Amino acid sequence: MANPNPVIKHGLSFFGWFMYVPFLFLIKKSFTKTCWLYSGIYGVLCVCSYAYWLYNYNPLCLFIAIPISFLATAFLGFVLKLIEKLFIKNAWLVQFLVLCTFDYLRTLGFLGIHYGLAAYTQWQFNSLIQFSSVAGVFGLNAIIIFSSAVIFAFLSKSEDKQNLQKRMISDDMHYDGATYINYVSENSRKMEYTSLKIPVVAFSIWVVLIILILIQGKIKLRKNNDYKTVTTVAIQHNDNPDENGIENFNESVQRLMKLTDEAFEINPNIKMVIWPETAVVPSIIYHSKSEQNTDRKKLVNHVIDYFKNHNASFITGNQHIDTNSENGSRIYYNSALLFNEKKGGAAVNPEIYNKIHLVPFSEYFPYEKYFPHIYKSLLEKQKFFSEPGDEIKIFKTNGLSIYTPICFENTFPDLCRQAYKKGARCFICLVNDSWSKSESCQYEHLAMAKFRAIENGVPVAVSSVSGQTAFIDKNGCLMSMAVPFTESYVIGELAIIPQDQQPTVYNKTGDIFGYGIAFLLLAVLIIRGLIAIINKVLCQNAQKQ
């Protein structure tokens, strides 16, 4: 319920503060032999709650995600149970580190995904999420998870103390003499484990930190930054993802042009137009240079002529095709193209950015050799897979230095951070979430765009096929948004951020709270292991004597 969901499209951010409490109690109440099973089931329920929309794209994608989630959370549950056994007195602190590390690790690699992180549940709490400019999403994620851990500590220790007291009262009549003294001594030691001293101190520090974070956020939001701006329109043409073929491609382009013309009628001073991911399906460059006079060539030439007839820059998503120089085969890319020419411009020579981080299973599957049946099943829906791009491209137009993360890419903070380091001072996200048929999915995506703006201190424009098309300022504040699942557009102002702008702390340090907590956990486990070994050796030596 904390993340955007079918019942509450924005999510209930309040639940984010204790979202892990039920899971930690599940671990506590489970036996070691079965905790992995219950944890795995918990993971499946979680992925079905915040990523159920995968089914609308391709049921196979959800069916793949479910066992992966089961295995990952089953392992997580087993580790948490071991921590409970190893750190009897205050296991909750180490379990907190485990949860933070798990959230970081699950965002890495081919299967990495950011959906479902605790930090994103607070996407509407602007004062709080300003902290991501300092610590990134993983720093804020740790703050949110800690509240679950400390709440669990209070409830768990209070429960243990109450149960122990009841047991001592009921057992009191069964012991006498030396046996009673040993019994009392043992229970006194157990009673120490229920002490709330450390949770109280930790909670107090956490409260102070939250207050400081909110003060920092309020101050940051009150700062006035006077920048020159570029009037921009982001188009949302609400295309049907299930319709293909040249006729549908033509209809889609006509809707894009109609909406763009309407925007120019309202504001003739528009300097840049943004069309969404794969807004123009046929490869503009490939077909425009083709010698065959096909319907696709006619369509892309029509698009090129339209761009030339406007005194504005156009950024559009396109299924770019390149040719293998060795065998002449086609290479497909999911691309963003910048047409930077003015009215009456000459030959087409757009700048190209090829999507680097492709969506696993739907755009990219490098394991055909090992899983041929899955590969074939995926191709029944996708027809072909794209090749990943190999470099970040910074577009420059109208004084803006632009990085264009394509759809899934804007969910990865480090990719956007690398773009900032290469000179990007504005992010324009080309998105297509229409296949999800889910407003909550689109809000989850919008939430991450807000974080990318704050982390890097740059404005963000989102042009999405069906939503959420929006403009976000450098502080992550939502300035304007189109109504989802409608043919619409949003006109906004993109601030021209200078190259010498003071970078955020996150720009300098990156995801240090992600891998830093992981290394801290590793160090704690190593130290605990060494202590156990030393104690065992000392015990053996004492027995020999």
Claim to verify: residue 351 and residue 366 sit in the same structural domain: no
Instruction: Provide the 10 A C-beta neighbour count for residue 268.
Output: 10
pLDDT: which is higher, 51 or 429: 429
Greater confidence (379 vs 5) lies with 5
| Residue 3 placed within a domain | no
* Top mean-pLDDT range of 218-227, 371-380, 421-430: 421-430
Domain identity same for 380 and 519 = no
Whether 311 and 268 have beta carbons less than 8 Å apart is answered as: no
What pLDDT is stored for residue 63 in this prediction?
85
Average pLDDT, rounded, for the chain: 89
Average pLDDT of 291-314? Answer: 91
Does a structural domain hold residue 1?
no
What does the pLDDT average to over 140-149? 97
Residue 315, H or E segment = strand 313-323
Q: What is the pLDDT of residue 327?
A: 78
Confidence at residue 347, expressed as pLDDT on a 0 to 100 scale: 47
Average pLDDT of 285-313? 90
Last residue of a domain, one of 387, 407, 434: 387
The answer to the question of residue 2 being in a domain is no
Q: What pLDDT sits at residue 194?
A: 80
Same domain, 178 and 284: no
- pLDDT over 90 percentage in the chain: 65
Indicate if 30 and 113 belong to the same structural domain: yes
Task: Give the Cα separation of 166 and 155 in Å (integer).
Answer: 17
For 224-283, the pLDDT digits (tens) are 778 999 999 999 999 987 788 899 999 999 999 999 999 999 999 999 999 999 999 999
Judge if 468 and 527 occupy the same domain. no
Extract the runs of DSSP E, i.e. beta strands, from 359-507: 395-397, 400-403, 426-431, 460-464, 470-472, 478-481, 488-495
Residues 112-121 have a mean pLDDT of: 92
Confidence class for position 527, pLDDT limits 50, 70, 90 = very high
Q: Which two tokens stand for residue 105?
A: 């690790």
Reported confidence tier of residue 345, pLDDT bands at 50, 70, 90: very low
* Predicted confidence band of residue 77 (pLDDT cuts 50, 70, 90): very high
Average pLDDT over residues 140-164: 92
Q: Please indicate, yes or no, if residue 445 is contained in any of the structural domains.
A: yes
**Confidence band for 346, pLDDT divided at 50, 70 and 90:** very low
**Between vectors from CA 435 to CA 430 and to CA 438, what angle results, nearest 5°?**
95
Please name which of 377, 354, 380 lies closest in space to residue 367, comparing C-alpha atoms.
377
Q: What per-residue confidence (pLDDT) applies to 18?
A: 93
Whether 448 is covered by a domain: the verdict is: yes
Between 187 and 352, whose confidence is greater? 352
The answer to whether residues 127 and 138 belong to one domain is yes
- H helices within 172-270, ranges in order? 177-193, 197-222, 246-266
- Within a domain: 5: no
Is the pLDDT at 176 greater than 70? The verdict is no
Per-residue pLDDT for 477 more than 80?
yes
pTM summary value: 0.91
355-387 burial, b if ≥16 CB within 10 A, otherwise e?
bbbbbbbbbbbeeeeeeeeebebbeeebeebbb
Q: Is the pLDDT of residue 342 over 70?
A: no
Can you give the pLDDT at residue 519? 97
- Per-residue pLDDT band at 492 (split at 50, 70, 90): very high
Find where tokens 């003015």 sit.
Answer: 342
The DSSP secondary-structure symbol of 428 reads E
Residues 295 and 200 in one domain: no
CA 165 – CA 185 distance, rounded (Å):
14
Q: Is there a domain that residue 535 lies in? A: yes
The answer on pLDDT for 384 being more than 80 is: no
How many CB atoms are located within 10 Å of the residue 158 CB? 13
Contact status, residue 451 vs residue 130, Cβ threshold 8 Å: no
- Tell me the CATH number at 244: 3.60.110.10
pLDDT tens, 481-491? Answer: 999 999 999 99
Model confidence at 425: pLDDT above 80: yes
Q: Are residues 32 and 130 in the same domain?
A: yes
Q: List the single range of 55-64, 103-112, 122-131, 349-358 with lowest mean pLDDT.
A: 55-64
| Pairing, β 488-495 against β 478-481 | unpaired
Q: Which two tokens stand for residue 98?
A: 């485990």
Tens digit of pLDDT for each residue in 305-320? 999 999 999 999 999 9
Q: Which domain holds residue 372?
A: 358-387
Quick check: is 6 in a domain? no
383 and 395 fall within a common domain: no
Q: What percent of the chain has pLDDT over 70?
A: 93
Q: Are residues 234 and 245 in the same domain?
A: yes
Q: Count of domains in the chain?
A: 3
Contact (Cβ atoms closer than 8 angstroms) between residue 385 and residue 345: no
Range 426-450 average pLDDT: 93
- What is the pLDDT at residue 348? 66
Residues 122 and 45 in one domain: yes
Pair 260, 168 in one domain: no
d(CA 400, CA 396): 6
